[in-house]
């Protein structure tokens, strides 16, 4: 059946989810066509152009399709917000209802959809979303905690035996399902290792109720991929919308309230420097600065550290990450504080990316202090 | 009274700017904004009948009809001069506010007050100096964790009361303005080199000196417009010197001057440049800045990488074969 509207897409995914659920409950077969949804940030609509938005989207996908290893072909559906990119290996559905944050869905193999997501977020003006730990831990608000994934890639300490583990860059990695999640979270809270236990994934269960049997389990990763298992696309869609609503609010808050600018009309300086408070003990500040501003992944910031004293460094950094490519952000680094001065016009995603990467490789307990103590990345 | 930290003039300016923010920053007080003061100018020269007047910072409140003019003396405050203070003493308020473009509901009754900002360890010496020389400017004392007023009161009694109580201050104060006339070439290089890279990465492959100075001077957009042109001029000349040096030394392959267009051109680096090219640009920064600081001369690297033949290898072979 050819899909021409978002409503038809929704119905299709409902069928897939239910079919997979049946396969598992009756035959214990794990489906290979699980529903994956990805939230992607883009600035395709920025800049001057005589093209309509639809034309821009089609042109964009025609261009990237030509370089892909699968034979994708883009078409616009009858729904103005739905674009469909099909290949012999599977189809990707692009929901552009929100111009800045697209939702991309697919039931193709993860190998195909992840590849598509990866290529897309390498393009200029495109970026994944970045969900820091407080945001992920707030998501059970939309269901029940079903599982948690933890990983950490140590950047501050060197392991002399690093070369013996070429396949796995993580120093710590585990997945815990619902029976032991609460216990683990309690352990983490009081453990000396909490600084290196980066939450990279949360699983949420929105269970069935007495009125209906529909349920969903969504695995939500820190980079905005949501994998669904269950019987209800509507519940999956609700969780996705909740993530997007809260994420957008946080990003807009950063861009509107924290970006620095001088208003010549009122002669007032608006904005607020953003402070990342590091709670991990014994941080080697020289190593920290080297990791943050080398220009390499995951931080993708390049600048020349200017050491004002042995514990204080200023850096004027160029952001080499796609969503904010080539723009400057000024930083100051202290042993337990990183201060960022966001100029007006900077993408707020840069800050969520900074914090997320700090959580995954520097200090899983770092927090951003805004005007109110728990300003940043809370679930509303 | 001693302070663990001794501030430069630029440090003091950045601290005062913190106090002018629309929002209160962590561990600091936006007292000037709260009391209705707005930034009028930074380091701007006004030619008056008393002579040339250049305050480091001028704040004004329309509602209170008061202007505060700060003269900041960093470190040991060793450059206090009678010549300068006499000009401040003899300044006609209505003339100054007219020339400085300061709004006033009633210029005849407008109050203008000069305040001297110093490190707190110099307080007694500066007070004694003022007494001896017949000046009566309030002193704003910068300590490592607090700011306080001494010697004379402010005409704005509300502000005076608050400053007399001593304001606590962030130990690690934010920086908004990066340069002044004391900044060295290496100070500038830390911001200029990445800024050139930034231009290239968004495919802005030419720039003027005026453009780059506006972009690197401060971290607050548009604030550079109220900074006086003569202090910018001092920095502009240094930036010109720096760019010329860059284009002749480590960055000779990346920068060239177009004298016809009066613009700098960026070479090799752009939004699509190869990672190796980008790395070469980035690596050059360390060597260049170290040499700026040490004064070491620029030399072209004649060492041939291992495994690569040079012409000198052939000459030896030829000699041996004869």
Contacts of A270 in chain B (CB under 8 A): 21-23
CB contact under 8 A, A304 and B286: yes
pLDDT recorded at residue B246: 96
Residue B237: HSE in the Cβ half-sphere, 13 Å Cα cutoff: 8
Q: pTM for the full model? A: 0.88
Same domain, yes or no: B39 and B148:
yes
What mean pLDDT is predicted for residues A134-157? 91
Contacts of B62 in chain A (CB under 8 A): none
For domain A261-369, the question of CATH label 3.30.160 is answered with yes
Q: How far is A271 from chain B (nearest CA, A)?
A: 7
What mean pLDDT is predicted for residues B231-256? 92
For residue B179, being part of any structural domain is answered with no
How many Å apart are CA A340 and CA A274, to the nearest integer?
Answer: 5
Across chain B, what does the average pLDDT equal? Answer: 88
Same domain, yes or no: B116 and B25:
yes
CB contact under 8 A, B198 and A318: yes
For residue B203, being part of any structural domain is answered with yes
Same domain, yes or no: B14 and B155:
yes
Q: How many domains does chain B have?
A: 2
Q: Which of B194, B221, B226 sits opposite A317 (nearest CB)?
A: B194
pLDDT band at B321 (very low <50, low <70, confident <90, very high): very low
Q: Above 90 in pLDDT, residue B54?
A: yes
Please name which of A371, A362, A372 lies closest in space to residue A132, comparing C-alpha atoms. A362
Please name which of B11, B14, B68, B13 lies closest in space to residue B37, comparing C-alpha atoms. B68
Same domain, yes or no: B95 and B202:
no
What mean pLDDT is predicted for residues A157-165? 67
Contacts of B220 in chain A (CB under 8 A): 260-262, 269, 271, 341, 343
B57-64 own/partner pairs: CB under 8 Å, 24+ apart:
B57/B13, B57/B16, B57/B17, B58/B100, B58/B102, B59/B20, B59/B32, B60/B97, B60/B102, B60/B103, B61/B35, B61/B36, B61/B37, B61/B156, B62/B36, B62/B103, B62/B104, B62/B105, B63/B36, B64/B35, B64/B36, B64/B156
Enumerate the domain spans of chain A: 6-128, 133-256, 261-369
Q: What is the DSSP letter of A189?
A: H
Interface test with B, best of A122, A256, A259, A302 (most B CBs within 10 A): A302
> pLDDT per residue over A238-266, tens digit each?
999 999 999 999 999 999 989 999 988 88
For residue B312, being part of any structural domain is answered with no
Residue of B nearest to A327 (CA): B198
Same domain, yes or no: B198 and B283:
yes
pLDDT band at B174 (very low <50, low <70, confident <90, very high): confident
Q: Which A residues 264-283 touch B at CB under 8 Å?
A: 264, 266-273, 275
For residue B262, being part of any structural domain is answered with yes
The single residue listed with the structure tokens 């300068």 is B84
Q: Provide the CATH number for the domain around residue B82.
A: 3.40.1350
CB contact under 8 A, B17 and A269: yes
> pLDDT per residue over A294-342, tens digit each?
999 889 999 999 999 999 999 999 999 887 899 999 999 999 999 999 9
B237 has a chain A CB within 8 A of its CB: no
B51 has a chain A CB within 8 A of its CB: no
Q: Which A residues 97-126 touch B at CB under 8 Å?
A: 124
Q: Which of B175, B197, B220 sits opposite A269 (nearest CB)?
A: B220
Contacts of A318 in chain B (CB under 8 A): 194, 197-198, 201
Q: Above 60 in pLDDT, residue B305?
A: no
| Range among A262-271, A355-364, B171-180 rated most confident | A355-364
For residue B321, being part of any structural domain is answered with no
B236 has a chain A CB within 8 A of its CB: no
Same domain, yes or no: B138 and B48:
yes
Q: How far is B282 from chain A (nearest CA, A)?
A: 8
Q: Which A residues 323-342 touch B at CB under 8 Å?
A: 325-328, 330, 332, 334, 337, 339, 341
Same domain, yes or no: B209 and B121:
no
A219 CB neighbour count, 10 Å cutoff: 19
Q: Please work out, in degrees rounded to the nearest 5, the angle formed at the alpha carbon of residue A317 by the alpha carbons of B282 and A120.
A: 90
Q: What sections of B90-228 are H helices per DSSP?
A: 93-100, 123-133, 157-164, 185-201, 209-216
pLDDT recorded at residue A300: 92
For residue B245, being part of any structural domain is answered with yes
Helix (H) / strand (E) element for A229: namely strand A225-230
Q: How far is B159 from chain A (nearest CA, A)?
A: 18
Same domain, yes or no: B38 and B133:
yes
pLDDT band at A180 (very low <50, low <70, confident <90, very high): confident
pLDDT recorded at residue A380: 60
Residue A298: asked if its preceding bond is cis (omega within 30°), the reply is yes
Q: How far is A124 from chain B (nearest CA, A)?
A: 9
Q: How far is A325 from chain B (nearest CA, A)?
A: 7
Buried b or exposed e, range A344-368, using 16+ CB within 10 angstroms: bebbbbbbbbbbbbbbbbbbbbbbb
The CATH number of A6-128, from 3.40.33, 1.10.3470, 3.40.50, 3.30.310, is 3.30.310
Task: Give residue B242's domain range.
Answer: 185-294
How many Å apart are CA B17 and CA B180, to the nearest integer?
Answer: 15
Looking at this predicted complex, what is its ipTM?
A: 0.89
Q: Which of B220, B271, B289 sits opposite A260 (nearest CB)?
A: B220
B223 has a chain A CB within 8 A of its CB: yes
Coil, strand or helix: which one is A64? helix
Please name which of B270, B275, B254, B280 lies closest in space to residue B201, comparing C-alpha atoms. B270
A344 has a chain B CB within 8 A of its CB: yes
pLDDT recorded at residue A166: 61
Structure tokens at A326: 């080539």
Residue of A nearest to B26 (CA): A371
How many Å apart are CA B67 and CA B44, to the nearest integer?
Answer: 15
């Amino acid at each position: 059946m050819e899909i021409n509207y978002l409503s038809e897409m929704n119905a299709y995914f409902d069928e897939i989810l239910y079919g997979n659920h049946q396969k598992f409950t009756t035959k214990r077969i794990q489906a290979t066509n699980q529903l994956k949804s990805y939230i992607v940030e883009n600035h395709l609509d920025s800049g001057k152009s005589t093209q309509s938005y639809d034309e821009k989207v089609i042109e964009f996908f025609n261009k990237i399709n030509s370089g892909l290893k699968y034979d994708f072909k883009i078409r616009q559906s009858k729904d103005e917000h739905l674009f469909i990119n099909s290949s012999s290996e599977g189809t990707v559905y692009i929901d552009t209802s929100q111009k800045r944050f697209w939702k991309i869905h697919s039931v193709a193999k993860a190998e195909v959809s992840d590849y598509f997501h990866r290529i897309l977020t390498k393009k200029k003006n495109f970026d994944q979303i970045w969900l820091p730990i407080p945001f992920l831990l707030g998501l059970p608000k939309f269901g029940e905690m079903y599982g948690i994934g933890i990983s950490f890639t140590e950047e501050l300490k060197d392991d002399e035996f690093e070369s013996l583990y070429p396949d796995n860059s993580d120093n710590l990695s585990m997945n815990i399902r619902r029976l032991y999640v609460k216990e683990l979270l309690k352990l983490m809270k009081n453990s000396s290792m909490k600084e290196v236990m980066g939450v990279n994934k949360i699983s949420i269960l929105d269970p069935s109720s007495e009125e209906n049997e529909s349920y969903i389990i969504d695995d939500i990763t820190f980079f905005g991929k949501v994998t669904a298992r269950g019987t209800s696309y509507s519940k999956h869609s609700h969780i996705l919308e909740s993530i997007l609503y809260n994420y957008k609010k946080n990003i807009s808050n950063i861009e509107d309230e924290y970006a620095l600018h001088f208003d010549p009309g009122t002669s007032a300086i608006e904005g607020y420097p953003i402070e990342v408070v590091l709670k991990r003990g014994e941080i080697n500040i020289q190593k920290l600065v080297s990791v943050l501003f080398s220009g390499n992944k995951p931080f993708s910031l390049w600048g020349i550290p200017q050491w004002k004293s042995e514990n204080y460094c200023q850096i004027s950094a160029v952001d080499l990450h796609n969503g904010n490519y080539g723009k400057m952000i000024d930083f100051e680094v202290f042993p337990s504080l990183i201060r960022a001065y966001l100029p007006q016009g900077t993408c707020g995603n840069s800050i969520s990316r900074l914090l997320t990467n700090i959580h995954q490789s520097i200090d899983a307990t770092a927090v951003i202090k805004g005007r109110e103590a728990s300003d940043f990345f809370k679930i509303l | 009274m001693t302070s663990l930290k001794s501030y430069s003039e630029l440090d003091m300016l950045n601290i005062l700017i913190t106090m002018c923010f629309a929002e209160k920053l962590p561990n600091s007080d936006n007292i000037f904004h709260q009391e209705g003061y707005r930034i009028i100018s930074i380091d701007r020269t006004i030619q008056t009948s008393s002579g040339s007047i250049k305050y480091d910072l001028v704040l004004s409140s329309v509602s209170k009809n008061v202007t505060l003019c700060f003269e900041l003396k960093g470190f040991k405050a060793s450059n206090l001069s009678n010549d300068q203070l006499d000009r401040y003493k003899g300044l006609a308020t209505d003339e100054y506010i007219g020339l400085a473009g300061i709004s006033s509901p009633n210029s005849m009754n407008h109050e203008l007050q000069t305040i001297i900002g110093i490190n707190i360890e110099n307080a007694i010496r500066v007070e004694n100096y003022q007494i001896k020389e017949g000046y009566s400017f309030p002193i704003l004392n910068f300590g490592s964790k607090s700011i306080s007023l001494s010697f004379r009161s402010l005409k704005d009694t509300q502000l005076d009361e608050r400053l007399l109580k001593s304001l606590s201050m962030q130990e690690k104060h934010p920086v908004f303005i990066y340069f002044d006339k004391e900044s060295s070439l290496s100070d500038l290089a830390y911001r200029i080199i990445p800024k050139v890279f930034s231009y290239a990465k968004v495919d802005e492959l030419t720039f003027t000196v005026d453009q780059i100075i506006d972009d690197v001077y401060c971290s607050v957009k548009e604030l550079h417009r109220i900074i006086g042109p003569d202090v910018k001029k001092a920095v502009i000349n240094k930036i010109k010197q720096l760019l010329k040096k860059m284009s002749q030394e480590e960055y000779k392959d990346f920068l060239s001057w177009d004298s016809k267009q009066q613009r700098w051109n960026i070479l090799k680096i752009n939004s699509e440049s190869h990672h190796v090219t980008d790395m070469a640009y980035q690596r050059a920064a360390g060597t260049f800045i170290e040499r700026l600081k040490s004064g070491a001369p620029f030399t072209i690297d004649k060492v041939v990488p291992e495994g690569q033949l040079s012409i000198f290898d052939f000459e030896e072979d030829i000699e041996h074969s004869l």
